[in-house]
Amino acid sequence: MHQSKHAVLEFEQYVRARQDDLLRSARRLVSDPLSAQDLLQTALLRAYPRWEHIADKQLADAYLRRVMINIRTEWWRARKLHELPTQQLPDAVFDDPAERHADRTLLMDVLRVLTPQQRAVVVLRHWEQMSTQETAATLGMAPGTIKSTLHRALARLRQELQPHNG
């Protein structure tokens, strides 16, 4: 599909203006910085041909987040779970002594125990601070499904973060 010159310029301006926020959203979905950049670039490549069809450009961020979630899910499924779940997380070593950085790194590691759908709900509700309705619209799910998925995801995270007595 051929884009009009105006649409191309508009898309380029949008990407320039929103790039940092979109990359932050990608980092919330995948913990590796290079994978996050790949995720964002792939999402932008998929969104570009559809740009002229996004009537309300204020919804472009939500559309791109949804595309990133779909891509992340595809990657997760393609990987066929090469990583094996474990009862105990390995001890992490952090080069950065800042408490906040350590907490964020731990959280990103722990988020890996969630399914892609659970991770998407947690990210949109808690990091992106979307309402249940906004999250449901972004993910194409019923609000009740968002609530139950979030409940199960948070219970799983609490379980994972509890000290293991053993």
Q: Domain with 40 in it: what CATH number?
A: 1.10.1740
User: What's the mean pLDDT when you consider all of the chain?
Assistant: 80
Query: Is the whole-model pTM more than 0.75?
Result: no
Q: Is the pLDDT of residue 84 over 70?
A: no
Tell me the C-alpha to C-alpha distance, in Å, between residue 141 and each of 13, 41, 112, 164. Answer: 31, 25, 22, 34
Cα separation of 107 and 80, whole Å?
A: 23
Cα separation of 65 and 59, whole Å?
A: 10
Query: Of 82, 111, 126, which marks where a domain is finished?
Result: 82
Same domain? For 63 and 8 the reply is yes
Q: Count up the domains in the chain and report the number.
A: 2
Same domain? For 24 and 72 the reply is yes
Highest mean pLDDT among 3-7, 84-88, 105-109 belongs to: 3-7
pLDDT in the model for residue 146: 93
Structure token pair of residue 85: 């779940």
How much is the CA Rg of the chain, to the nearest whole Å? 18
Same domain? For 78 and 144 the reply is no
Same domain? For 7 and 43 the reply is yes
